[in-house]
């Protein structure tokens, strides 16, 4: 190239360079258009989600409450009772907490670590007012015999790190025990694993039911003449546009014990009038309501794919001797797979994070992981645990989203 | 769907079975919505069809729950409706502006890292609402916007923009960029080109995206539950509280109004879609 003469644009700059500049300008222009939204989302949404991670591993509360103790404990090997300095430092730290009336939080936190901590700490708070200067080890040990037990000092030391992954362990019903080994909690207390598996189960079956129901009607909508299909499409779009709470309310009315569904079952003689089954506040209610609510999300992608399949393909198959069944499974069905993938993953992702409907019609046996997150956010105020569970759920969803992107492509999402 | 005359009997049976299944599914989809309508006119306080209603006795019906909804002293529906509309309208405007700009940038073929940015921009649609709610709550609490209208509006802009981005990008995919180049070659500045050429052409997409954003905001409850104080209660929050405590017919009256609203929105969206299809048909 260099030996040839370069083509120049009118202002004397080589054309290649001028093009590159224009290209760069366009790039910047396009990027500038996206910038406001991108910045807005990064600040108000992406960073806060990332911030949930630091919140979920944050364990500075105890660390900050006992700064001197942990400094003194650095030298301690944890085999025998600590030295006088540790006792003195602990006394000084705890005195400040008692004076600031924040000792209660320390008592609760350390009680999580070792049962029985609360009472000895409370006793210490009362007694230490009369402490004399010097020889704190003796004085503290005199308050309660548990201070002579090295296990309690080890429990304090375990809370020294400012970061912890214990919330994640708690999310899968495990904890790290006194020797620092990761073990499972007692069998009757493994509630979170039940919730995870139930969430997956509900999401899976709701997706399956939606698929089984959506496939025939999407096919009907795609093959009917326009004027009928437009009318029927309203049946799909009206629920889609209607408030989620309205739809949940209608299911609460239908599924109640004196509701229409039970009336119908009594009328056809399926159940006795005095023995109406409970259909709400359990898993049945969750399944029925969620399937109906998420069904449009399955129908729409299926429909948009089926619409593009030419009917002549099926006719060609039949004219070559395929029975309708064979023609369907060999020709039509494989062509609809992109729509099936899109619909199933969309419904699955939505179902796995569902909150409102399970909370209202689910009762105790129908609640999902989202309800547990909300519970910890609003009731127990254990925000770091809520964050940890949220991130575990998010990781699962992102994996599914990634698969979705690989299989279908995010750009192919169609709305209505 | 008439079957051809030569269809064999067992396919005929199969076909009618298929139509029957479709009918059932359509019934399952749409029927629950219409249960609310008659029950909201119930004269009694029960949420079941009374004997009078089954006989279509006019005395069994009344509009007392609608009156209660509007005039009821303890009912917060007036405040909730006002808040809902204010929040939804501002959230829609914000979503439309940010989303349309971003969609214009994204549909340019010069856009770098298109896939990554697109994935980021529509992530609020994919991330479960409960997680969005927790994250947005932490942010709003930190900057002191929790329990304010502004905080909720910003939160709803986050949730609404993906819809605008998707619909406008879809509209722009059939957009002929030589028109805008023609406009600039005739001396129009970029702003005028956008207002006079681009915007009118992509308007159906923008409006239907805006409708999605409006409905998202109007119907959103999870994030609002985290963010709202007593003054920023919205219709969905009130319904949520009502449904949790006690199902009262007043809620059904509100629900009926919401169904009517969604029918109106659906009709608007349908009209826009058809217009957009027609316009694109002419372009081809």
What's the pLDDT tens digit per position in A113-150?
788 888 888 888 888 778 887 788 888 888 888 888 88
Q: How many CA atoms lie within 13 A of B263 on its CB side?
A: 10
Give A163-211 pLDDT, tens digit per residue. 888 888 888 888 877 667 788 888 777 888 989 999 999 999 999 999 9
User: Apex CA B268: angle with CA A232 and CA A308, to 5°?
Assistant: 45
Could you tell me if residue B89 is inside a domain? yes
User: Residue A415: pLDDT above 70?
Assistant: no
Report pLDDT for B171: 85
Backbone torsions φ then ψ of B155, nearest 5 degrees: -60, -40
Query: What residues make up the domain containing B132?
Result: 75-245
Could you tell me if residue B148 is inside a domain? yes
Cβ contacts of A87 within 8 Å, gap of 6 or more? A136, A137, A140
Cβ of residue A212 closer than 8 Å to a chain B Cβ: no
User: Residue B2: pLDDT above 70?
Assistant: no
- The residue in chain B having the minimum alpha-carbon distance to the alpha carbon of residue A244 is B219
Nearest CA among B145, B229, B129 for reference residue A373: B129
Backbone torsions φ then ψ of B75, nearest 5 degrees: -85, 130
Residue A381 or residue A201, greater confidence: A201
Report pLDDT for B283: 46
Report pLDDT for A1: 47
Highest mean predicted confidence (pLDDT) among A44-48, B34-38, B143-147:
A44-48
CB contact at 8 A, A215 and A200:
no
Return the structure tokens found at B100.
Answer: 């349309």
Please give the mean pLDDT across all residues of chain B. 86
Nearest-CA distance A131 → chain B (Å): 42
Categorise residue B47: left if φ over 0, alpha if ψ from -120 to 50, beta otherwise. Answer: alpha
Could you tell me which CATH class the domain A191-412 is placed in?
mainly alpha
Cβ contacts of A365 within 8 Å, gap of 6 or more? A282, A283
Nearest CA among B224, B101, B206 for reference residue B164: B206
Could you tell me if residue B190 is inside a domain? yes
H helix or E strand, kind and range, residue A70 = helix A67-73
Give A91-123 pLDDT, tens digit per residue. 888 888 888 888 888 888 888 778 888 888 888
Please give the mean pLDDT across all residues of chain A. 85
Return the structure tokens found at B232.
Answer: 């920023």
Say how many C-beta atoms besides its own lie within 10 A of residue A307's C-beta: 13
Return the structure tokens found at A57.
Answer: 């591993």
Strand partners, B42: B61
Is A344 buried (19+), middle (13-18) or exposed (0-12) by CB count in 10 A?
buried
Domain count, chain B: 1
Question: CA distances (Å), B195 to each of A240, B170, B198, in order?
Answer: 32, 19, 6
Cα–Cα distance for residue pair B143/B150, rounded to 1 Å: 11
Report pLDDT for B138: 92
User: Residue A412: pLDDT above 70?
Assistant: no
Nearest-CA distance B83 → chain A (Å): 16
Nearest-CA distance A405 → chain B (Å): 9
Confidence (pTM): 0.84
Percent of residues, chain A, with pLDDT higher than 70:
96
Are the beta carbons of B102 and A34 separated by less than 8 Å? yes
- What confidence category does residue B136 fall into, taking pLDDT thresholds of 50, 70 and 90? very high
Q: How many CA atoms lie within 13 A of B130 on its CB side?
A: 32
- Can you tell me whether residue A182 is helix, strand or coil? strand
Could you tell me if residue B257 is inside a domain? no
Give A302-312 pLDDT, tens digit per residue. 998 898 888 88
For helices A84-99 and A117-127, the axis angle rounded to 10 degrees is 80
Nearest-CA distance B73 → chain A (Å): 23
Residue B228 or residue A8, greater confidence: B228
Give A349-363 pLDDT, tens digit per residue. 889 988 888 888 887
Which one of A30, A235, A245 has the shortest CB-CB distance to B30? Answer: A235
Is A69 buried (19+), middle (13-18) or exposed (0-12) by CB count in 10 A?
buried
Could you tell me if residue B115 is inside a domain? yes
Give A10-33 pLDDT, tens digit per residue. 777 888 888 888 888 888 988 999
Could you tell me if residue B221 is inside a domain? yes
CB contact at 8 A, A246 and B37:
no
Which CATH number fits the domain that encloses residue B192? 1.10.3720.10
Return the structure tokens found at A122.
Answer: 């409370």
Residues 239-268 of A with CB under 8 A from B: 239, 241-254, 256, 258-260
Cβ of residue A373 closer than 8 Å to a chain B Cβ: yes
Report pLDDT for A382: 82
Return the structure tokens found at A407.
Answer: 């299989």
Strand partners, A174: A184
CB contact at 8 A, A108 and A87:
no
CB contact at 8 A, B193 and B184:
yes
| Chain A partners within 8 Å of B115 (Cβ) | 410
Alpha helices in A144-282 (DSSP H): 150-158, 166-171, 191-223, 226-241, 244-255, 260-267
Are the beta carbons of B259 and A246 separated by less than 8 Å? yes
Cα–Cα distance for residue pair A380/B95, rounded to 1 Å: 34
- DSSP secondary structure string for all residues of chain B: -PPPTT--HHHHHHHHHHHHHHHHHHHHHHHHHHHHHHHTTBSSS-SS--HHHHTT-GGGB--HHHHHHHH-SS--HHHHHHHHHHHHHHHHHHHHHHHHHHHHHHTSTT-TTHHHHHHHHTHHHHS-HHHHHHHHHHHHHHTT-TTSHHHHHHHHHHHHHHHHHHHHHHHHHT--HHHHHHHHHTT--HHHHIIIIIHHHHHHHHHHHHHHHHHHHHH--HHHHHH--STT--HHHHHHHHHHH---HHHHHHHHHHHHHHHHHHHHHHHHHHHHHHHHHHH-
Which one of B26, B130, B154 has the shortest CB-CB distance to A370? Answer: B130
Could you tell me if residue B175 is inside a domain? yes
Greatest alpha-carbon span in chain B: 74
- What confidence category does residue B97 fall into, taking pLDDT thresholds of 50, 70 and 90? very high
Least confident of A394-403, B42-51, B85-94: B42-51
Report pLDDT for A409: 63
Could you tell me if residue B279 is inside a domain? no
């Amino acid at each position: 190239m260099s030996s040839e003469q370069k083509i120049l644009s009118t202002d004397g700059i080589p054309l290649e360079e001028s093009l590159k500049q224009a290209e760069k300008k366009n790039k910047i222009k396009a990027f500038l258009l996206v910038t406001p939204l991108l910045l807005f989302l990064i600040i108000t949404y992406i960073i806060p989600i990332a911030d949930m991670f630091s919140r979920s591993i944050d364990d500075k509360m105890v660390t900050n409450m006992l700064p001197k103790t942990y400094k003194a404990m650095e030298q301690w090997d944890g085999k025998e009772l600590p030295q006088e300095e540790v006792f003195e430092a602990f006394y000084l730290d705890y005195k400040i907490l008692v004076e600031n009336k924040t000792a209660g939080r320390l008592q609760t936190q350390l009680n999580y670590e070792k049962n029985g901590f609360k009472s000895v700490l409370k006793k210490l708070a009362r007694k230490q007012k009369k402490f004399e200067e010097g020889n704190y080890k003796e004085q503290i040990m005199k308050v309660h015999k548990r201070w002579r037990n090295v296990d309690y000092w080890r429990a304090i030391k375990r809370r020294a790190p400012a970061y912890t992954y214990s919330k994640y362990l708690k999310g899968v019903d495990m904890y790290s025990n006194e020797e620092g080994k990761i073990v499972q909690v007692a069998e009757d207390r493994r509630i979170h694993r039940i919730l995870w598996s139930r969430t997956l189960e509900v999401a899976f079956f709701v997706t399956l039911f939606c698929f089984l129901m959506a496939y025939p009607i999407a096919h009907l909508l795609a093959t009917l003449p326009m004027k009928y299909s437009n009318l029927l499409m309203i049946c799909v779009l009206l629920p889609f546009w209607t408030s989620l709470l309205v739809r949940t309310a209608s299911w609460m009315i239908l599924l109640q014990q004196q509701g229409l569904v039970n009336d119908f079952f009594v009328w056809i003689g399926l159940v006795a009038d005095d023995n109406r089954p409970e259909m709400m506040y359990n898993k049945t209610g969750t399944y029925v309501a969620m399937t109906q609510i998420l069904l449009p999300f399955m129908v729409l992608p299926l429909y948009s794919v089926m619409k593009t399949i030419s009917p002549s393909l099926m006719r060609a198959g039949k004219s070559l001797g395929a029975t309708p069944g064979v023609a369907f499974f060999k020709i039509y069905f494989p062509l609809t797979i992109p729509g099936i993938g899109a619909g199933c993953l969309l419904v699955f992702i939505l179902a796995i994070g569902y909150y409102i409907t399970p909370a209202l019609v689910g009762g105790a046996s129908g609640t999902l992981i989202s309800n547990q997150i909300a519970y910890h956010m609003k009731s127990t105020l254990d925000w770091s645990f809520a964050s940890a569970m949220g991130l575990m759920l998010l990781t699962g969803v992102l994996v599914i989203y990634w698969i979705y992107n690989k299989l279908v492509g995010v750009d192919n999402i169609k709305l209505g | 769907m008439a079957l051809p005359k030569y269809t064999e009997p067992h396919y005929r049976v199969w076909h009618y079975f298929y139509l029957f299944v479709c009918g059932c599914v359509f019934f399952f989809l749409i029927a629950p919505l219409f249960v609310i309508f008659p029950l909201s006119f119930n004269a009694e306080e029960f949420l079941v069809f009374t004997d009078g209603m089954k006989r279509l006795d006019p005395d069994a019906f009344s509009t007392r729950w609608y009156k209660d909804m509007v005039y009821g002293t303890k009912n917060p529906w007036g405040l909730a409706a006002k808040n809902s509309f204010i929040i939804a309208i501002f959230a829609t405007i914000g979503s439309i502006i940010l989303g349309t700009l971003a969609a214009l940038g994204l549909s340019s073929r010069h856009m770098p890292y298109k896939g990554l940015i697109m994935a980021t921009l529509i992530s609020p649609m994919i991330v479960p609402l409960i997680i969005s709610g927790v994250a947005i709550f932490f942010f709003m609490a930190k900057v002191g916007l929790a329990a304010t209208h502004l905080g909720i509006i910003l939160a709803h802009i986050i949730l609404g923009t993906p819809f605008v981005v998707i619909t406008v990008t879809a509209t722009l995919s059939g957009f002929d960029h030589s028109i805008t180049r023609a406009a600039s070659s005739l001396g129009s500045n970029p702003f005028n080109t956008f207002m006079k050429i681009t915007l009118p052409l992509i308007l159906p997409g923008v409006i239907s995206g805006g409708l999605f954003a409006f409905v998202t905001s109007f119907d959103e409850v999870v994030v609002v539950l985290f963010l709202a104080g007593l003054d920023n209660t919205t219709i969905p929050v009130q319904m949520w509280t009502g449904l949790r405590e006690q199902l009262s017919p007043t809620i059904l009256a509100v629900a009926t109004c919401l169904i009517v609203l969604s029918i109106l929105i659906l009709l608007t969206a349908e009209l826009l879609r058809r217009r957009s299809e027609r316009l694109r048909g002419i372009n081809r």
